[in-house]
Structure 1
Amino acid sequence: MAERQPETSPQEENTPLLDQYIDCAKKFIDLAKDLGHIKGANKLQRMCKSELKYLQSLRTSPADVSGNHLKSSNLSHYTGCLHAAYNAPQVTQILSPFSLEGRTENLVVDVVANQGYTWIKVIARKAQALHLVWAGRGQFGERDLVKQARDYIHCADHHPVHFQKPKVHFAFYNQVTHPMAVCLERLGISVSGERVPVDDATTNQISLACVSSDEDSEASDSDSEDYRGNRTDLGQDGFSPSSGGRFAADKTSLKSCSDLNCDISTSFITQSKSDCVFSEMNLLHTLIFSLPSFVCLSDKASGYSEVGIERVNLDITTLITLVSSVTHDGCHFEFSEKILALQAAEERQEPVLPKLKKFLQGKVMYVCRTALEDFRSILDTLGGLKEKERAEKLLSQVTIVDDDPSDRTMEMPYSLRIKERSKIIFGTGDKLRAVTVTANSSFVRAAQHQGVSYAVYLHPSRALTEEKEKSAVPFSPTD
């Protein structure tokens, strides 16, 4: 009689996979750390560390490690966030919150690319499951991607970058059905990821749901009227009652894939050097089906630049910076005032004017009367002779306009960082649809917290220093 082999427990079966998850989480922490120069990367790193802690707790847990424990991991989503951050062009932010009118919570954009002009949403859920939710077969409270897409579009409308609405891009890491991709593109969203047909199992679930709904609708005339009304509402969202709630133009829209916004399908073959980092992790094949390409965003990136900016609104801080002695070779002094000494040291390390003048070149410069009057007052009190001469030359090149702040600016409540003068200056630039050039980053952040995002060009702050040079000591670099 053959010797009976000992049974393998579920925990023993899942332990090797758990070890792979833990190893993957550790690598993700290192990848996020390497993105430290991007705003929000530290947040992603903390989330990966939290995930690692959770996975490590499963290893020591007395309870069996089930497949459901691993399925609840967020590693799939973090995979997408990291991959997009490494491969999308000109990434400036990761996991960036944006206020959305009508919602108490902020909308979090996974990756902000193209210097702010593109918002990328990472989708790691499997295509067929997403399709079922879209068809109304999801769990109670689940919102389908089309509704989420409208939130993104609406939010982007309220957060323009240099008065251009950011483009929204959905990156699918576990495939997307053809009908859903087409529907999203009709809303104006670009889509990348492997496109697949709706499988038989999903089609059957939708069909059974429709049959059940039809039977229920025959129970009473009033219920029937409500049902037809709901179907009409679905049709307005791009659904077809005759196809069980699916997109009406599926057949015609799929006959030619050349019209689609982005790549039709992307296998696990790497698209860039950065992809190699991800494809080398064997676990990723269980987390995601494919790595989307962001080539379409790179092609569009050239259309988003400072070239399209024609008007600029100069803040008081910028006027001072443009005429200050410290920005005109007056940085080689040791000032007794700590703030002036710091600005001089920064100026010796990295001068402000070259970048600032390059940005202003060829643009129409505006100054509102409040900014002008306060600038002149500061100049008369603190300015030196040469600083005053530079100021007169500068002001002869700008257009003076009356104070005329935008409505959304004046509706902002006052606070410690949101004051009348700043509201007038930034609001006038907003009304002019001009980019406000400023060193007042605290007002910009405070306004963002109030849900108002301004088109700004930020630069380091500089003070008037010519008169202070009289009591300063020439700077002597140490070996």
Structure 2
Amino acid sequence: MAEARAALASRKIGEADVLLEKLGELQGVEGVNKLKKRIKAEINFLKKALRKGSDLKEEHIMCSNLGQLGALYDAVSQASQVVGVLQNFSSQHLEKIVVDVVAENGKQWIKVVFWFFSGVSESLASNLEGLGICVRGIRIPDNELGIPDFTVNDSESDCENFSDENEDMTANGSECNEVAEDNVFTSQDSRTTKCTCEPRLHSSCEVLHSEGRCQNEFECNTNVSSSSAGLESSNLCSTVTEKKEIRKLNLDVTAIIAYVSATTNGGANFIFADKVLTEQAMWERQNPVKKTLDQYFQGCELMVCQEAVDHFSDIINTIGGPAEKKRSQEFLARVAVVPGQDIYENQVKIGGKVRKLSRIIFGTGQALKAITVTSNRGFVRSVEQQGIKPVVLYHEPRALTEMKESCATPIQAS
């Protein structure tokens, strides 16, 4: 680990040296020397940290101001007729301000506000752009960071909006039941039946029957077993007498994040600077997500597509803490990694809540006759509107929080 941090610091120093060379090409631009001094100060900081060896931490390297200074140069290189950088301005009515880039021969002032070296969540980027700020960086869907999708109301009953046929079914004695402690799904009718657990578990599956045949491409050998995911197979396909079980679970990126998160592994007793993380910690104290996931996983074959592993690895390596990274390695060692299958490519359009990665993940689960474990309700509801009915088990979202604990306020466990 120490060697990896040293290599990272050395790479940053090399990038800074290249930046200094580029600044040498800016002739006649006021403030360039000031920018060079700031870059050299960052280089000296990293070199000093390298000499100390064991004291060097990855977060110190990644939080270096070199990223912001590099973004400032990018703004300079893309602007026209730049006459100054890091220029001070003041007036009788305003406090002194520092303008990062003065362009268009003084007519345009540019302030570099944010540079997201770890990527930026879509909601944050949208909010900043709503304030007139130009945001640059890799945009990551909120659900892939464990951030709840606030456009989806988790308290909505999945029993709403049934068709007339379903109303007839209810009149005949079938009903959409909340799952009790044994989490049994009940259906006594051979027509279209939708069974949903109580909101905290967010488990749902929909099975279509016609002349005793399961029509959701899973056949009846894909019913979830009561031992593996809290569902009773004989009740899902009541018209088939032979009891068969699903023992395959396909994991979304959100499920892996939730499973290895510090919040779900003893780190829920914090008040974080981020309101969303504080809410998740409170939810975790009330309803431990890892316990729910372990119940799902019990006795099941776990799989994840390679594309999901690659994306998760990018996230955990960027914002995960040491313990979260260790848990992720241990957990992925338990999971079979399979090639992704984009079987919905010609049926599901990309856009809105539908991302290509999610389409591949859910398509892989369908292709391999596995139930997908996810917190991505937005994707599921979007593809349902396009005629696709994924079979899923929901969990509450959890974010990676270990690196946030140092700035959080601990609370006593109740």
Q: TM-score, normalised by structure 1?
A: 0.42
Greater C-alpha radius of gyration = 1
- Whose helix fraction is larger, Structure 1's or Structure 2's? 1
